[in-house]
Structure 1
Amino acid sequence: MSKSLLIISRQAPWNGPGAREALDIALAGGAFDLPIGMLFLDDGVLQLAGAQQSQAVQQKDLTANLQALPMFGVESLYACTQSLALRGMRDTSLEVERLDSDGLRALIDRYDQVITL
């Protein structure tokens, strides 16, 4: 049986390669039918903001990769409610389960392996 994997993405989409690498790992694992969840935490929730203008910072837009997650079997998507609130985000471009600090602890405990980027 495959071990479950939780990927915690903590970087903004334009702040280095971490956000893209987290998405690449999720998409690759999903292609191999691994049970994968993805948690957006801290500045990582900014990946979920709509109408990103990545060209302004000369970066590639991650929206297509985010939208592809469910097609690759990565349907367990989570976001930290406190991270969203601190950044003034009420709406997200993807449907995510919003978790408080107790929910985050329970989520992390459910997965066999955790990668933080």
Structure 2
Amino acid sequence: MAKSLLVISRSAPGHGLFAREALDIALAGGAYDLPLGMLFLDDGVFQLAAQQRPELLQQKSLAANLQALSLFGVDELFACSFSLAERGLAQEDLALAVQVLPVEAISPLLNRFDEVITL
């Protein structure tokens, strides 16, 4: 049986390559039918914002990669409620359906997965 993997994305889009790399890892894992989830924490929740303008930073949009997650079998998507609130985002502001978790649910989530990668 394949080990399960949780990818934690903590970086905002447009601030280095970490946001894109986290999505690439999730997509690659999904392509190999790896049991996989993705958690957006801290500035990583900005990746989920519906109204992004990456061209202002001369960046490519991550929207297509985010939408492709479900096509690759990555259906367990989570966001930290504290991270969203701290950055002025509500669930209705998000371009992707995610399960919003309170801070106290993060540790049990981490324990559900065999491996955790944080970018």
In 1, distance between residues paired with 2:95 and 2:36? Answer: 20
- For residues 63-85 of structure 1, what are the alpha-carbon distances to aligned partners after superposition, in whole Å with 9 as ceiling and x for unaligned? 00000000000000000000000
Matched residue, 1:89: 89
Gaps of 5+ in 1: none
Matched residue, 1:66: 66
- For residues 8-29 of structure 1, what are the alpha-carbon distances to aligned partners after superposition, in whole Å with 9 as ceiling and x for unaligned? 0000011000000000000000
Matches of residues 15-94 of structure 1 in structure 2 within 5 Å? 15-90=15-90, 91-94=93-96
Aligned residue identity for 2:72:
F
Q: How many residues align?
A: 117
Q: TM-score, normalised by structure 2?
A: 0.97
- For residues 20-40 of structure 1, what are the alpha-carbon distances to aligned partners after superposition, in whole Å with 9 as ceiling and x for unaligned? 000000000000000000000
In 2, distance between residues paired with 1:8 and 1:98? Answer: 14
- For residues 83-114 of structure 1, what are the alpha-carbon distances to aligned partners after superposition, in whole Å with 9 as ceiling and x for unaligned? 00001101211110111121101100100000
Structure 2 SS opposite 1:79: strand
Matched residue, 2:104: 102
CA-atom RMSD in angstroms: 0.5
Q: TM-score, normalised by structure 1?
A: 0.98
Structure 1 SS opposite 2:83: helix
Gaps of 5+ in 2: none
In 2, distance between residues paired with 1:88 and 1:61? Answer: 21
